[in-house]
């Protein structure tokens, strides 16, 4: 099939081989001085080789006080040019174009990163720091820094620059009433609030001349009270369309609304396409518009382009998960594309903690500069027990190295806990990852035997050289007085639709991810769940953006929740709850559901302890709790065999 997304296209002054844009995502792969590293070059080159049309560097700081992350890319000094040229040349050698994103963090940084006072349009707080309201001389200096950075980009050989005026960075801080309370020519009316962005565009254009492409990444809405409305964001786009720019890259959100910046799995694909369409309509399609928000396939991208909503599409995390998505699509190998699961654990989740990014499903992210493990000279027989994500990833890794692999799975189907994890509302897409893993393992030659329970005698009979145990974890049953087996269901039993019946009042003990997702599942099926969590808040075990969306869904479904709450005992038809600062509460409930965590399964490892061959535990049975733990550990272990 021919996809419009994969055909050559023009973005203003810029000719591209297709309409796929790999966007700016901070990696933390650079030196503390902002220098390009081998790691960053290899990371971008991998996406260029995979077929993306345009790559945009991560948010690249134009001023020392505009840096957001400790190992962020910089373009504030001529001494950075040699590395930037090397980055450009590597991407060009792979057939793609590359733009640099010019960024000033404004208030979205910290003194710990910059060692300097924080700037913003008005005095405000961000984290532990108070910002300074920018004086006119500060504004003039930052505008000069934009111009100087753009000129360096041109000298380094970049094909374009993208001016970052979204996601809560400095230009958006001027545009938004949430962060701009100025009473001068840069505050108050929309025309005044957009002035800083207009002046930044003009400063960049004056620096690079009339023929160099400029893209504007524009934030058009903020999901916070008193923030930028979509109406004002679209009106700002109309004003900015008068300037000499080549395209709009439409985004939304900021740090306080991070779930919009990096939409998790529970938000729909094409999260911000309608916002981009509103901009495209408002500017009468006078500029190409780039759409963003969990776009994961060429067919989905084509549907947005055909509908006239956007002209180009961003594929960010999708190309982290599989850099070859464009190439595989062109080759008719769409089933081979490793799916992004929208978990945010490896990418933005790690970045939020000041770490370098990786990917939950693609352990090569950040390791592209390291050679792939060589095929072994002497293949071995690797027996893997368990066909969940850890087992199947280990199988694929071992097979690529030339080993013979047998996988035993006691259930009738592969996937481990993934099929259950895909049952709650908004998680259905997750099931595709299990399907992809099984297909990859079988295509590589794995001998997968489902409905086969591993025992010491069967393991001995198969005579493996190495055994990898990926047998997962088992639910923890808390020692609550009165909690008899006939009184409760496990969360996984509920997700398997073993009860309770619609209309029942259900107490869910445990308000982590599993408990809250089970509550949504029950509410959708007509039950009345209440979630009781011992900690001070819900879903403390997941990435903040996913957590924010989960809390919104709990509110939308009207699910009652209690935090800092301990279930003291279970009585006849009731549970007795103890909450910090409250009297005992006797809660009537028809059924109880346990979501109180998991512990590693260790019985088989203990039974195989005396075997003459090496036995290794991986994934949940080794203490991991997330898909990313399973994937990374399985890969690392299998690469040592």
Strand pairing class (574-579; 585-588): antiparallel
| Paired tokens of 372 | 């792939």
Cα–Cα distance, 294 to 303 (Å, whole number):
14
DSSP 561: E
Q: Is 581 left (phi over 0), alpha (psi -120 to 50) or beta?
A: left
Cα–Cα distance, 393 to 580 (Å, whole number):
44
146 is catalytic: no
Q: Is the peptide bond before 519 cis (omega within 30 degrees of 0)?
A: no
> Which has the closest alpha carbon to 35: 86, 68, 104, 83?
83
Catalytic residue from among 29, 146, 169, 433: 169
Cα–Cα distance, 99 to 53 (Å, whole number):
11
Helix, strand, coil percent values for the chain (each to nearest 5): 35, 20, 45
| Paired tokens of 412 | 């009738």
> What element of type H or E holds 103?
strand 97-103
The answer to whether 500 and 591 have CB atoms below 8 angstroms apart is yes
Q: Is the peptide bond before 568 cis (omega within 30 degrees of 0)?
A: no
CB under 8 Å to 576, separation ≥6 — which residues? 567, 568, 569, 570, 584, 585, 586, 587
Q: Strand, coil or helix: what is 195?
A: helix
> Which has the closest alpha carbon to 430: 367, 339, 494?
339
What's the chain's length in residues?
641
Q: Is 77 exposed, middle or buried (0-12, 13-18, 19+ CB in 10 A)?
A: middle
Q: Is 210 exposed, middle or buried (0-12, 13-18, 19+ CB in 10 A)?
A: exposed
> Which has the closest alpha carbon to 209: 163, 160, 162, 170?
160
- Please report the DSSP string for 104-124 in residue order: --TTSS-HHHHSS-EEESS--
Residue 317, CA distances (Å) to 20, 22, 192, 369 in order: 13, 9, 35, 19
Cα–Cα distance, 245 to 198 (Å, whole number):
10
Residue 168, CA distances (Å) to 15, 255, 411, 488, 535 in order: 30, 6, 48, 46, 31
Cα–Cα distance, 286 to 246 (Å, whole number):
9
Cα–Cα distance, 549 to 546 (Å, whole number):
5
| Paired tokens of 315 | 């594929």
Q: Is 411 exposed, middle or buried (0-12, 13-18, 19+ CB in 10 A)?
A: middle
> Hey, which bits of 426-551 come out as E strands?
447-449, 466-469, 473-475, 488-490, 505-509, 528-532
Residue 404, CA distances (Å) to 367, 631, 635 in order: 25, 20, 16
| Residues annotated as catalytic (active site), given as ranges | 169
């Amino acid at each position: 099939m021919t996809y419009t997304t994969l055909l050559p296209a023009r973005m203003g002054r810029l000719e591209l081989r297709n309409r796929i844009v790999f966007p700016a995502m901070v990696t933390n792969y650079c030196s503390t001085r902002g220098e390009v590293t081998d790691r960053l070059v290899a990371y971008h080159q991998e996406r260029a080789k995979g077929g993306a049309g345009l790559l945009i560097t991560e948010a690249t700081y134009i001023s020392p006080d505009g840096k957001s992350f400790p190992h962020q890319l910089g373009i504030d000094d001529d001494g950075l040019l040699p590395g930037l040229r090397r980055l450009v040349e590597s991407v060009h050698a792979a057939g793609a174009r590359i733009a640099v994103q010019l960024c000033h963090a404004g208030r979205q940084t910290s003194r710990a990163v910059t060692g300097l006072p924080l700037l913003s349009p008005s005095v405000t707080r961000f984290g532990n720091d108070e910002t300074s309201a920018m004086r006119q001389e500060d504004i003039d200096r930052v505008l000069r820094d934009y111009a100087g950075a753009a000129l360096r980009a041109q000298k380094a050989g970049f094909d374009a620059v993208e001016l970052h005026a979204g996601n809560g960075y400095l230009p958006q801080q001027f545009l938004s009433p949430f962060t701009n309370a100025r009473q001068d020519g840069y505050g108050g009316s929309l025309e005044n609030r957009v002035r800083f962005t207009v002046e930044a565009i003009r400063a960049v254009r004056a620096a690079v001349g009339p023929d160099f492409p400029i893209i504007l990444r524009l934030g058009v809405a903020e999901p916070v009270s008193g923030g930028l409305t979509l109406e004002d964001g679209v009106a700002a786009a109309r004003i900015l369309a008068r300037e000499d720019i080549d395209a709009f890259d439409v985004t939304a959100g900021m740090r306080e609304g991070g779930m919009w910046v990096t939409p998790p799995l529970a938000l729909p694909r094409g999260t911000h396409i309608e916002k981009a369409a509103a901009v495209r309509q408002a500017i009468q399609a006078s500029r190409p518009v780039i759409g963003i928000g969990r776009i994961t396939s060429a067919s989905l991208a084509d549907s947005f382009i055909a509908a006239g909503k956007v002209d180009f599409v961003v594929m960010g995390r999708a190309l982290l998960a599989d850099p070859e998505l464009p190439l595989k699509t062109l080759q008719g190998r769409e089933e081979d594309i490793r799916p992004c699961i929208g978990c945010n654990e490896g990418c933005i989740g790690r970045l939020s903690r000041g770490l370098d990014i990786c990917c939950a499903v693609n352990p090569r992210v950040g390791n592209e500069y390291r050679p792939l493990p060589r095929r072994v000279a002497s293949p071995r027989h690797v027996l893997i027990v368990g066909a969940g994500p850890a087992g199947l990833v280990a199988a694929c890794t071992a097979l690529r190295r030339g080993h013979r692999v047998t996988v035993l799975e006691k259930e009738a189907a592969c996937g481990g806990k993934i099929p259950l994890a895909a049952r709650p509302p908004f998680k259905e897409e997750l099931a595709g990852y299990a399907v992809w893993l099984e297909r990859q393992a079988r295509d590589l030659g794995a001998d997968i035997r489902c409905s086969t329970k591993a025992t010491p005698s069967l393991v001995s009979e198969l005579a493996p050289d190495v055994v990898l145990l990926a047998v997962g974890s088992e639910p923890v049953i808390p020692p609550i007085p009165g909690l008899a087996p006939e009184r409760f269901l496990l969360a996984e039993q509920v997700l398997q639709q073993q009860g309770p019946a619609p209309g029942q009042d259900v107490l869910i003990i445990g308000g982590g991810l599993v408990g809250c997702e089970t509550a949504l599942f029950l509410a959708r099926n007509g039950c009345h769940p209440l979630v009781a969590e011992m900690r001070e808040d819900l879903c403390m075990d997941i990435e903040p953006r996913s957590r924010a969306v989960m809390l919104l869904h709990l509110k939308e479904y009207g699910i009652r929740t209690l935090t800092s709450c301990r279930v003291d005992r279970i009585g006849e038809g009731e549970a007795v709850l103890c909450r910090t600062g409250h009297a005992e509460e006797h809660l009537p409930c028809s059924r109880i559901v346990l979501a109180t965590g998991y512990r590693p399964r260790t019985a088989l490892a203990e039974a195989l302890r005396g075997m003459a061959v090496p036995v290794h535990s991986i994934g949940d049975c080794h203490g991991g709790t997330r898909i990313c733990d399973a994937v990374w550990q399985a890969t690392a272990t299998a690469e040592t065999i």
